[in-house]
Amino acid sequence: MDFSLSRLRDFFISQKKNQTPQNSQISFPSDNFTKLEKILGTTINDKNIYVEAFIHRSYLEENDQFVISNERLEYLGDSVLNLVIGEFLFNKFPKEEEGFLTKVRAKMVNRNALSSVAENINIGDFIILSSNIPKSITHNSKSILADALEALIGALYLDKGIETCRSFIIKNIVDPILNEGEHLVDENYKSQLLELAQANKLANPVYHIVNEEGPHHDKTFTVQVMIADKVFGKGIGKSKKEAEQFAAKKALEKLQKQ
């Protein structure tokens, strides 16, 4: 069976034709499409698919059951994003090993990087949320912004194909990070902390969640890191992993001063 990228795209398009979403009934200002075309650098063919890309799942809680959220497009966009960036890095750094390529790709597709890109191109202005959620959250929630960007990439892929998607991803995600040299900065503070602790013959760091608050779609976690039963750092993040990294960063700063 041929599982080529073009066949995968054809499959998703055929699946969408068989669905009966009511997304076309959602209020989405016509000038938003003009703004989107400027952001994407191309014309829009299927308007409905872009509306879907911005429907947060919270909107479904108080609206028609046939409305489709952006989660499926987010899944597709994530796959396209990893493929495009993986291929780009493979060709860009022919002498680098798998470990380097994996780290650089992870830096480009993590929640912080994607939410920053989404914020730069004003994705938050388009997101459709439940009326119970303040509109301001779309500009402050890294998770919502990153997910919407991935969904937008999924929509762009279905609407215009892989080449248009590749141009958008490289221009807005890859090039800025490479030009700033951010791909060379090691932000795995947990790994650095473990190495430093072992080099100083200390116990391995242990992470504990000490607080978890906020609604399901926008939780905040507080984590503290301990070494030999002593707290060395505390971090707050929108995911457990993010909070652990911030805690490890604080612990590193404390240990390096000793």
Residue positions annotated with a catalytic role: 78, 150
Q: What does the DSSP 8-state code read for residue 128?
A: B
Neighbours of 211 (CB within 10 A): 12
Q: Cα 1 from chain centroid?
A: 31
Sign of CA dihedral 190, 240, 177, 73: positive
Q: Chain-centre distance of CA 109, in angstroms? A: 6
CA distance 54 to 199: 47
Q: Please, are residues 232 and 242 in contact by the beta-carbon 8 Å criterion?
A: no
* Residue appearing with tokens 């299927």: 46
Please list the residues that pair with 230 across neighbouring strands.
Answer: 227
Pairing label, strands 220-227, 206-213: antiparallel
Buried b (16+ CB within 10 A) or exposed e, 138-161: bbebbbbbbbbbbbbbbbbbbbbe
Cα 58 → chain centroid: 18
Q: What are phi and psi of 85, to 5 degrees?
A: -70, -40
